[in-house]
Every structure is written in structure tokens, then in C-alpha cells.
Structure 1
Amino acid sequence: MALNLLPMGELGAIETNGTLTFGLWLPWVSAADGNRVAVKIIHETDQFLQNVPPREFPLSHTVRDPYGDFWSVTVPIAGTPPAVAGSAWGMPGRYVYRYTIVNPNVGTLDWIIDPFAREFGVGKLSAFTLGYQPYTWSAEEVDWRTPRLSDLVLYEINIGEFGGDLNRVGNVIAYLADLGVNAVEIMPLSNVGTSVDWGYLPIGYFGVDERFGKRSDFRALVDLCHQHGIAVIVDVVYGHTGVDFPYYDAYTRLRYRDNPFMGPFAKDYFSNFGKSTDFNRPLTRDYFYTVNHHWLDVYHVDGFRYDCVPNYWDGPLGVGYASLVFETYQLAKSKLAQADPAWRRFDGGPGKPPNLVQMAEQLEDPQGVLRTTYSNSTWQNSTFDAARSVARGDRGRLFDLGLQLGLFGYPEQETTNDVSIPKTALQYIENHDHERFLCNFGTYNPDEAGNPLFQEGDRSRWFMLQPYLIALLMSKGIPLLWQGEEFAENYFLPDVGEGRVALLRPLRWDYFYDGSGQPIVTLIR
């Protein structure tokens, strides 16, 4: 079942010479049934002033294929007088906006964000920049080529913990290149509703969360990474959303018995705090396919790490995950055939598949997802589990650890339609989901109150990391380092609970210089 790209030139907030056009599909929300939709807009500098209300503009309703009810309006910002004299309305800069729906049965629904927004404000607000200047890519970008799968050395980062924002992360890209890293995997950049968050409950998909910076900041970071020989892989969450995602939020408050986007599909791991997306719905499938295209085309990323694949796994011939990665692979092939310069980075050579990285987090069956889909890499916890058991004293797992380090049972390539696609798995002993490996050798608690969240691994035992890191870096597959692993970062992380994600754990860069960190840095280099 072929997927379709949504017409992004007509969706979200689109500026042309000071005039904004807003458009969105709201299937089953029809003017004929008495519904009205409006957009509320205010300049960002005015949003907290009690005497400056937002300007409100009604949207017009049409029926458009293939999803039905479509709402849109054109707003000449510069030609529309401000609601209050002296406000920033009409001036260049960031504006925040939201939609409202007036429904004859439930009344007025306010604070509905835009599912197609490219920028975001604080909390539940979409945004746009009046006078936005597109980023100009460096001259070197056209020559960038995504590394082959077999050459990748991966480094996972959380923007908020690694540097705080995109600009500060850019300051240490040269350090990562010097460390020997040639790919970064960035935890979700999508918009979320809270200020301290890992990013796995997204409510906006087409831009960078305002916590980290602006869309031009991320383009600049990708450009800089490429100049230093580092590919950029983004972590994406398609099987579930946060509760404020508009296609869940609006239809729930409308009290509709059905939903054109959300609903049960495969395995629902997150029903206690997130909501499942329904890939049986055409809008859902096309939406996430368009999200992939957007990040590849607009931001020049080199691939994706697909979070929690079981959320939308309905088999190798299904309409969920397998279809999405196949269509994304075909998209890259098509762009290469068209000689699109923005996609030249994926050129693997004559008769070779694109070097696009499509990495599954399919921990239930990592070997199977490589054999039966167009994923070319996968996370797997078997090496991690065996290494942790050995570190905790179970010497009976040594043989198992050896097998996992050699990726026993994993395919190295699969031939489909006469094209051989390289396949491999990641190897790691640390990642964002687990406590630091040092914690296996002993912990202490610097907190006087004894709060277990503040436990730390004993860095005096740094030397016990060495054999595991040597095995990791010499193993078969793609080695993955989790930020700070190279200088013996030692945070504890609980296996469950809100304390996993609601506590910021910034890197302690001073560890780089001390007697525990320096030997590990030297080893990895």
C-alpha cells in the first residue's frame, strides 16, 4: 500500500511576504454539522501581558481529498491592525498561535495546537517567525556522504543533558570527531509539553522543541556535524504520542466515538501516560511518512532510530512499521534517481542501496526485524544483558557474552529485488534507558536524605570498565557510546518511575580531566 506525502506547502503556518496561511485537516469536523474553527495569534513578546489579547481569525471549511474536512485562512499580519495600540503585532519575530473549535454539542475547545507546526512556543503553543530567513547550507554540504553502515561509530546524546541547547552542543562537535565518533544519535527533538523530558511523548513532529533552539539552529548543527565527518541520526517516536497531540486531544474533547488518527493498533506499552497511533488510518500512515521526508529533506539528517517498534509492528507485510521503512527506503532511491542534490548524501554507488540509516528499536525480535523489513540496523539488549550479568558476578554468562559480541544469529545482509542490503545490530553496555555501567561494581549515595534517585556508581572502580569497553569496541556490529561513557560518567537510573525522565542529569565535563576519566578517554581514543 503506497504512502502519500502530505502537501506541506498548504499545512501549518506558511508565510509569504508578511502574509500567513494556516491550513489543517480535521476529518469529521465539518461546518455542515455546525462546527467553527478559529486561530488565535499573538506576538511572543506580548503573550504574558494582560492587556494584550491575541487576535482571532475564523477559518474557512472545504472538503478536500483524501482526508475530507479541511480548514484554512489567510492572515495579512502586516495589514491587520493590532488589538491594542503599542503591542508588537505586525513586527518581525516569533508569534505563537493555537486553534479553537466551537462545536454545537460540547461548546468551545481552546488550546489546540497545530499538528503541522514547524515551530513551537512554551507549553501548548505552536509558533511561526514573521520574516523567517531560511538557513543557508555551507558549500561543503553538497559533498557530504553518509558513512556506510559497517563504518559507523555511534554516540547517543540527550541535547538537554549534553549541552543544554543546540548551539552549545555545536561547541563540542570537534571533540566528538577527535574521540573517533562518526555518527550521533540524538534523542527525540520533537515538541513535548514539559520542560524536562526525554522526548518520548511528542505533541509536535515537524520541528525542533523550543527548549533546544530554533529550526535554523538544528540545521546549523547538522551542517557542522557533516563538516566534521559525523552523520546525524534522529530518534523518532511514531507508535504513540503525548495526550496533548492535537489528533488525540481535539477528538477526545469533542467526545467522538472514533478517531481518524489515534487508536489501538499493535502493542500498547504506554497506555498509562501516552496514546497509541492507529496505522490502519490513511492519515496516520501518510503523516509519519511525511514527517520522515521532512527531516530528511529539510534538515538533511542521515537516518532514524525508530523508538519502540512493537507499538506499530503488525508483521513484515503489515501497514505499520514495515511499510513505513520500505516507503522511506523507496523515497531515498527515487530522490537519488532524480539526482536531487539534497539527497546525494545517500549515494552508495552503482547497484548499491542508499546509505540511509533505518534503525529499529525492536527488542522483542531484533534478528527478525532485520530479516523481514527494510531496516538495516537494530538495537538489541542481549549484549547489554550478558555484560551486566557478568559484571554483577555471574561468570556463567561469559560464553553468552562472547556469542552476543559476535552477533551470533544476526544476518549480515538480505537480498531483496536483486539488491543486497547490508544489515547489522548495535552493540552497547550503556544507553539512555539504563543506569551507568559503573553502578554494577558498587554505588554510594551523596544525598544526606538517602533519596535513591541520587545514587552514583563508584568511580574509584573505573578500571573495571576497561575489559567491557575493549570488548565493545572490538565487537561485531555498530558500537554505541552513551554520552559521557568515555570519561566514566556514573549516574544511577531507576528501571521504572517518573524519576527516570523528570530529573535532568547534565554531563559532568570535569570528569574528563580527573584520574578516573582520563584513562577511559585514552582507551576509547
Structure 2
Amino acid sequence: MTSPSESTSTTATSADMFSVWAPEARAVGLVLDSPDADPVPMRRAADGWWTCGVPREQGRDYGFVVTGDDDEVGPPRPDPRSTRQPDGVHGLSRVHRVDPSRWTDAAWTGRQLAGSVIYEMHVGTFSPDGTLISAIEHLDELVELGVDMVEVMPLNAFNGEYGWGYDGVAWFAVHEPYGGPDAFQQFVDACHARGLAVCLDVVYNHLGPSGNYLPEFGPYLSSADGPWGSGLNLDGEHSGEVRSYIIDNALRWFDEFHVDALRLDAVHALHDASAVHLLEQLTVEVESLSTHLGRPLSLVAESDQNDPRLVTAREAGGYGLDGQWDDDVHHAVHAAVSGERQGYYVDYGSLESLQQVLTGAFLHAGTYSSFRGRVHGRPLDVNRVPGSRFVAYTLTHDQVGNRAAGDRPSMNLTPQQQLAKAAIVLCSPFTPMLFQGEEWGARTPFCFFTSHLEPELAEAVRQGRTREFAAMGWDPDTVADPQDPETFRRSVLDRTEQTRDEHAEILRVYRALIALRNAEPELSDPWLAPVRVESGVEADDDRWLVVHRGSLALVVNLGTEPCRVPLAADAVFASGAVADADSVFCQAFGFAVVRTR
């Protein structure tokens, strides 16, 4: 009588069989269908991979039992490369393959980052049902708004029903409460049908605290702790397989799920002393796949290092990424309009700081940061690196959700103040990004919320958030309890707001500004070198800014009183401003896009 491996090995490839990497295990067993089933012994290869001849049948549940040096045998664990976790991150994995026949986007040729307007969304709060399928119902609204790329906050499987997604532990699986992998396939396909590209937020710098079983399989984690726990082993013993684990995950979203871009969370927390940094290796691999697929694939980093090498070409000594988030632009714009100066806003708010970021991308570029108490950043060569490689915004999930009450700017600023911020970003040489609901001045908060099932973990999160907010100078009594289900429910968008007077006007102006950016080549010109900024200060409440973009200019009043800006121009679009013979008259926080004479 033949064993299962003997009967199938001549007709199936290794990719069709169950396998797992566990280089330090004494034994590994495959558990099928039920966690109580007897394990099927697996065979170890010299490279630390364990295999057996059982075919990976679509829809079959399975897990692995790993025996370590202590000979203790624990319960079955999910596959580190599990493509589906139907019963949560602690349950068995399920074999799942994307069905190629369900795609209808064969004509999709992709969309590059440069020239795009991005829209960031959190699936769980974007619609009342909080699923990928229900999100599809609102995609036409984004098309009408004029955006080009939808950036989805992390979808990898995490413990609990709702959360931001940055505590994911099953990186290859799509969170089941959002609809699982089939729903994500439908979502991407629906976006492409409407001309919208898809950017997926991925987290490679750490894993969540609940359901992380990777250490039981092998040396996935580094001995060095990062801000959110142990990081990944990117340069130690066995790090080759860990790096492949990350790169294979990234390529899977591009290839199998047809996504167009990845936003790489907090790359400054990737500790890699290798000669070839993980980000550079990832760039090379993605470029190869892009060539094969025949469409642009983009990598966008989040980093707090103000280091332009991330987006500098590899041949010029950089990592070659396509873009990076630029918090300095946010801080400069927000502080100038809102007047906030606490925490990391302490160095921002002046017209000089705003002028610096609009012409050089960073405020701190080898200069002293009061908040950090040290020199920070590195200067950008504006003649070699285009501004389109910097993603700019008036708010993000971080800049709202990391406030004590999750309050949006719309809850503290007038509609005209919100529009002044939007005009600066949308008329800038950067790649603009909106956060869900911003386009109509949504008044629903976006709080930090979690649904940890472990009481001790839930309490640790509460205490950690309180300490963080205290450091920013916020009243601890205003901190929204992240574990309270009401904190999550209050963060769901209220779409009925869109038709109310002031919200409808904000939405009209957002649509007009995006349409103007798309219509005027000078506004979408990605280069920073030609940008020229003028400013004027008559008094503390009388400040204005003129941003010249070729023959066009953005004139904006950043004061609380009306002002007259000396500039001979004709208005192209205005909100709270009027251009006359030799000047532009702006109400408080009014602005005008003009064509200079």
C-alpha cells in the first residue's frame, strides 16, 4: 500500500502540496479538516522546508503542529502563508486560490503614482455595513469627485472584528469581517472598471500581539524591539527566508489581486543592516513584475526620517521607491491654518515654514527639530527628485485617529479654513491624498479603535494611548476608549451630511479643485524647482501666501481678517476671494487660483 506522498508525487508539483518553513523544528505534522485530527508527518528538507504529499485542495482546512527542542507538542497553528482564515487568526487555515475567471479587468493598463489624486479609506467605517462589497456601492462617488487611486487601509487578517488593521498577523489573508479574499477581488475589479487604481496599505515592520505564531515556526523576528514590539529578522541568521516571506507577500497583492500600488507602513522601523536593504530588493522585484505584467506598479513608503534617498533612483544611490508620505507638508499647512502648536507642531505654523515645505518638501532637512531635540532629516535635490514622489495631505488616518478624541479638522475649523488647506495641497507639486469624508467636511470622528479579546491586551492599549496623548498636551479625560464598541460606531461615515448646505459647498469646491488640477498642466507639474512662493505679513491676523505655478498662482489668505494681495491677475477659480484690476481681495481664509498678467 502506497503512502499519500508516493501516490501523488509523480503527478503534482511541490506548489500543489502542503509545505511550511520551520528550520529549527524537530518535527512538523499536518492537521487536516479538524483541529482534533491526527497529524500527518511531514518531511524536512535541507533548507528547513517541511513537505508532505497531501494535495492542497481548494477549500480544505488545515494547520501545522510544530515540535520544538523541548519535545512539547502544542495545538495546531495556522499556516504563516495562509491565504484565508475563515475562523479568525487562531483557527485553522483554509486553502484558497483567486479564481482567474472572475476578473473582468483585462483592458486595465494601470495608473502611475505621478499625476494621481489618492483617496484613503478604512473599509470598516467607509460604509454602514463596513465590508468591501458595500464599499463598491460608493465608488461612483469617488469617480465623480475626480480621484484616481483608492488607498485601502490594511486588510490583512487581525484578531477581533474591527480595528485599523496595523495589528495584522496573517499577512497573506484578507480579514474575514471585510468579506475575505473573494470580496477583495471583487472590489479591485470594480475599481478598475471605473478607472480607479487600488493601493493597499501593508505592514512589514511588526506583527500584532494576538495570533502571532511565527516564532513557533522559525526565526522570523529580530531580537531588537521596535516601537510596536519585535521587528522582523531582516539581516540575521535565516533572514533570507524572512525577506522572501515579505517580498512574496508584496508580489502576491500585485499579481494575484491586481493591485496597482502598495503603501509600506513605517519603513523607518525596518531594521536592516544588509548591503542591499529590503526596500531596494523589493523595488527590484516589483519592477521585474511590472515589466512582466505590462502595467505600472508603485511602492509608497511611510517614513518619519525625512530621507529623500527612499525616492531617489537606485542608480543615484537611493532605494528607488515611487513615493513617500510627507508629514512635514501636513504639519506646516495644518499649523498655519489652525494655529495649533503643541507636540510635533511646535516648529510649524509660520509662513516661512510653509514656504520651505512647498519648495523643498521638508521643513527639517538637516535642521534642528525642537520636538525631537536633535538635527533631523536630509535636504532634497529638487532638480533630481520630482515633487510628485511626495504624498501630501491635509489629514490622514494617523493625523485624525492619533488625536485624543479622533476629531477631524472639520470639527474645529470653519469650512473656509478647511478649503484653504485643501487648496494649498491640491494646487501643490506633490501627489495629493484625501482621507475619507474630507471632501465634504465630515463631522464624524475617526478614532483609534480596537476589539482585542484579551482583557490584559485591551487594558495595555488603553493605558498606552493615554500616555501618548498626554505627551501631546491633550486632556486624558478626552481620550476615546479604543475598546468601547461605540468608539468604532461613531467613526462610521454619515453620508447624509453630503447634501447639507455647508457640506455640499465643501464637496463642490473639492470637485472643482481636483478638476482644475487635472485640466491645468501647470498645477500637475511635478517639479519643485520652478515653484515660487511669496508671502506677506501685515499683522498677526493678516497673513497671505502666493504660490506661483507658471502662469497660474494660488493666492490664499491665512489670516482671520480680510486682506488685499497685490497681484495683477484674472481669477480662474475662487472661494471667498475676488480678483480685480491690480489685486486679489480675500476674505478670512479665502483663496483664488488666478492667471497672472
Same fold (TM over 0.5): yes
Equivalent residue number for residue 248 of structure 1: 214
Is the aligned partner of 1:286 residue 2:232? Answer: no
Per-residue deviation, residues 189-240 of structure 1 (Å, max 9, x unmatched)? 1111222221112211223111211322211211111111111011111111
Equivalent residue number for residue 135 of structure 2: 169
Equivalent residue number for residue 30 of structure 2: 38
2:389 to 382, 403, 424: 424
Instruction: Give the conservation status (yes or no) of the 8 Å contact 1:487–1:517.
Output: yes
Equivalent residue number for residue 497 of structure 1: 465
Higher relative contact order (Cα pairs below 8 Å, separated by 6+ residues): 1
Instruction: Give the conservation status (yes or no) of the 8 Å contact 1:405–1:427.
Output: no
1:399 to 344, 352, 373: 352
Instruction: Give the conservation status (yes or no) of the 8 Å contact 1:234–1:303.
Output: yes
Is the aligned partner of 1:155 residue 2:114? Answer: no
Equivalent residue number for residue 259 of structure 2: 301
Q: Which amino acid aligns with 1:379?
A: W
Is the aligned partner of 1:202 residue 2:168? Answer: yes
Q: Percent identity?
A: 21
1:29 to 16, 25, 28: 25
- The alignment partner of 1:142 has SS state of coil
Q: Which amino acid aligns with 2:429?
A: K
Change (3 A) 1:478 1:309: same
The 5 A counterparts of 1:3-152 are 10=14, 21-30=17-26, 35-42=27-34, 54-64=36-46, 67-74=47-54, 96-103=61-68, 105=70, 107-123=72-88, 124-128=90-94, 134-139=99-104, 141-152=105-116
Change (3 A) 1:162 1:245: same
Deviation at 1:244, TM superposition (A): 4.8
Q: Which amino acid aligns with 1:488?
A: G
Equivalent residue number for residue 277 of structure 1: 232
Instruction: Give the conservation status (yes or no) of the 8 Å contact 1:407–1:477.
Output: no
Larger Rg: 2
Change (3 A) 1:460 1:516: farther
TM-score, length basis structure 1: 0.74
Instruction: Give the conservation status (yes or no) of the 8 Å contact 1:28–1:69.
Output: no
Equivalent residue number for residue 185 of structure 2: 219
Change (3 A) 1:9 1:216: farther
Write the distance in 2 (CA, Å) between the matches of 1:285 and 1:183: 28
Select between 301-310 and 362-371 the one with higher mean Cα deviation: 362-371
Deviation at 1:107, TM superposition (A): 1.8
Instruction: Give the conservation status (yes or no) of the 8 Å contact 1:315–1:322.
Output: no
Write the distance in 2 (CA, Å) between the matches of 1:244 and 1:172: 32
Instruction: Give the conservation status (yes or no) of the 8 Å contact 1:24–1:72.
Output: no
Write the distance in 2 (CA, Å) between the matches of 1:316 and 1:322: 11
Q: Which amino acid aligns with 1:38?
A: L
Deviation at 1:506, TM superposition (A): 1.1
Deviation at 1:295, TM superposition (A): 1.0
Write the distance in 2 (CA, Å) between the matches of 1:101 and 1:485: 48
The 5 A counterparts of 1:431-450 are 431-435=396-400
Deviation at 1:412, TM superposition (A): 6.2
Per-residue deviation, residues 115-166 of structure 1 (Å, max 9, x unmatched)? 1111112331243268x78142445x22212223322100001111113111
Write the distance in 2 (CA, Å) between the matches of 1:125 and 1:268: 28
Deviation at 1:54, TM superposition (A): 4.3
Write the distance in 1 (CA, Å) between the matches of 2:252 and 2:281: 18
Is the aligned partner of 1:480 residue 2:446? Answer: no
Change (3 A) 1:69 1:228: closer
2:153 to 180, 187, 190: 187
TM-score, length basis structure 2: 0.65
Equivalent residue number for residue 377 of structure 1: 323
- The alignment partner of 2:186 has SS state of helix
Change (3 A) 1:422 1:283: farther
Q: Which amino acid aligns with 1:306?
A: L
1:236 to 202, 206, 211: 202
- The alignment partner of 1:467 has SS state of helix
CA RMSD across the alignment: 3.2
- The alignment partner of 2:433 has SS state of strand
Write the distance in 2 (CA, Å) between the matches of 1:326 and 1:315: 18
Q: Which 5+ residue runs of structure 1 have no aligned equivalent?
A: 1-7, 15-20, 43-52, 78-92, 252-258, 336-342, 347-354, 416-420, 440-451
Select between 512-521 and 152-161 the one with higher mean Cα deviation: 512-521
Instruction: Give the conservation status (yes or no) of the 8 Å contact 1:236–1:307.
Output: yes
Is the aligned partner of 1:506 residue 2:492? Answer: yes
Write the distance in 2 (CA, Å) between the matches of 1:102 and 1:138: 41
Q: Which amino acid aligns with 2:222?
A: G
Instruction: Give the conservation status (yes or no) of the 8 Å contact 1:222–1:301.
Output: yes
Per-residue deviation, residues 427-446 of structure 1 (Å, max 9, x unmatched)? 10100102289x9xxxxxxx
Is the aligned partner of 1:260 residue 2:252? Answer: no
Equivalent residue number for residue 364 of structure 1: 305
- The alignment partner of 2:439 has SS state of helix
Instruction: Give the conservation status (yes or no) of the 8 Å contact 2:43–2:51.
Output: yes
Write the distance in 2 (CA, Å) between the matches of 1:9 and 1:482: 45
Equivalent residue number for residue 388 of structure 1: 334
Is the aligned partner of 1:465 residue 2:409? Answer: no
Instruction: Give the conservation status (yes or no) of the 8 Å contact 1:117–1:126.
Output: no
Change (3 A) 1:412 1:357: farther
Deviation at 1:99, TM superposition (A): 2.4
Change (3 A) 1:22 1:476: same
Q: Which amino acid aligns with 1:68?
A: G
- The alignment partner of 2:74 has SS state of strand
Select between 452-461 and 228-237 the one with higher mean Cα deviation: 452-461
Instruction: Give the conservation status (yes or no) of the 8 Å contact 2:25–2:69.
Output: no
Per-residue deviation, residues 437-466 of structure 1 (Å, max 9, x unmatched)? 9x9xxxxxxxxxxxx647675378323211
Equivalent residue number for residue 351 of structure 1: none
- The alignment partner of 2:226 has SS state of coil
Equivalent residue number for residue 550 of structure 2: none
